[in-house]
Amino acid sequence: MNYDCAVIGGGPAGLNAALMLGRARRSVALIDNNRPRNAVTHSSHGFITRDGVTPAEFRRITYEEVLSYPTVDHRQAEVISVSKIEAGFELIDSSGFRIHTRKLILATGVKEIFPEIEGFYPLYGKSLFNCPYCDGWELRDQPLVVVSEYPTVFHTAKLLLNWSKDLVVCTNGNETLSNEQKKQLQRNGIVIMEQPIAAFVGQNGKLEHVRFSDGTTIERAGGFVTPKFISSTRFGEQLGCDKTELGGIQTDGKGKTSIPGLYIAGDASYFMPSQLVFAAADGSRIAMSVNLELAEEDFI
């Protein structure tokens, strides 16, 4: 099958890219493995007209809209191979199906690697989260814990004070805070605990205690844990894309990578905490760049 553009990834970035390209009357292959990263989340926030929508409902509505454009084909599959060819790119999925495309948008997002702490995953998406803007409102005025092994914990703690004044910052055995930062946090009533965490303790998705390796426990009702982000796929790396300092794929600001015809949309480029509205906007912006490039190539 031959297309103007293939989009790998069915998150908000990939879906909005396919939507805009469909509206531009481009032939589009939208390929999605149906394993969204936010499936664990009960609801998504910060997207006007969709605040509080469940991830499943968001995808249902979006696919209904995107696939109403006749030039957009959807294939639920796992892409296992992407290679550069003279006319663009060749994609092969797990069934052996081949797609040839002039342009390629990777909207595959990122994976979160969380600290290995007992009891985390039963609570994740229910009372433990990673993005204050996504879930801070729901945890407002509750006793919260902030767990991070990275220097950004200082700024996260400052940010969270607007949602709750009862904060405990945990570095899980890492020395990530300077003495001056510790003093500033303590002046604002924030407790700092630097010993390793042994377990999160709770029932039915509700955090109750944080237990440390020295036997100390603290009562908390919820909190935020900072993950490490890595690319969900290695396609950009395999194709030889230049990378950013954070490990994302370097682009020119308009989604274009160092590989001609290859674009990146959404989290895979900037490795920042996810927001639906950011990713969707990025997908739209990248689709316009792709359409412009196609138009320039086709103009005689």
Residues 246 and 282 placed together within one structural domain of the fold? yes
Which of helix, strand or coil describes residue 110? strand
Could you tell me if 113 and 232 are in contact, meaning their C-beta atoms sit under 8 angstroms apart? Answer: no
Residues 20 and 99 placed together within one structural domain of the fold? yes
Residues 104 and 243 placed together within one structural domain of the fold? yes
Of 225, 252, 271, which residue sits at a domain end? Answer: 225
Instruction: Supply the pLDDT for residue 179.
Output: 96
Residues 16 and 160 placed together within one structural domain of the fold? no
Residues 219 and 284 placed together within one structural domain of the fold? no
Residues 103 and 234 placed together within one structural domain of the fold? yes
Residues 84 and 174 placed together within one structural domain of the fold? no
| pLDDT tens for each residue of the chain, 300 residues long | 899 999 999 999 999 999 999 999 999 999 998 876 555 667 788 888 888 888 889 999 999 999 999 999 999 999 999 999 999 999 999 899 999 999 999 999 888 899 999 999 999 999 999 999 989 999 999 999 999 999 999 999 999 999 999 999 999 999 999 999 999 999 999 999 999 999 999 999 999 999 999 999 999 999 999 998 887 788 988 888 887 776 677 888 888 999 999 999 987 665 555 678 888 999 999 999 999 999 999 998
For residue 73, give the CATH number of its domain. Answer: 3.50.50.60
Of 225, 242, 265, which residue sits at a domain end? Answer: 225
Residues 99 and 234 placed together within one structural domain of the fold? yes
Domain containing residue 188: 115-225
Instruction: Supply the pLDDT for residue 242.
Output: 85
**Number of compact structural domains in the chain:** 2
Residues 6 and 46 placed together within one structural domain of the fold? yes
Amino acid at 181: Q
Of 191, 225, 259, which residue sits at a domain end? Answer: 225
Residues 145 and 241 placed together within one structural domain of the fold? no
Instruction: Supply the pLDDT for residue 52.
Output: 84
Instruction: Supply the pLDDT for residue 41.
Output: 66
Residues 16 and 102 placed together within one structural domain of the fold? yes
Adjacency order of strands within the sheet including 222-225: 128-129, 222-225, 144-147, 167-170, 191-193
Instruction: Supply the pLDDT for residue 37.
Output: 58
**Per DSSP, which regions of 114-189 are E strands?**
128-129, 144-147, 167-170
Strand partners, 129: 224
Residues 257 and 205 placed together within one structural domain of the fold? no
**Per DSSP, which regions of the chain are E strands?**
2-8, 28-32, 72-76, 79-85, 88-93, 98-106, 110-113, 128-129, 144-147, 167-170, 191-193, 197-203, 206-212, 217-219, 222-225, 228-231, 262-264
Q: Is the pTM of this model over 0.75?
A: yes
Instruction: Supply the pLDDT for residue 246.
Output: 63
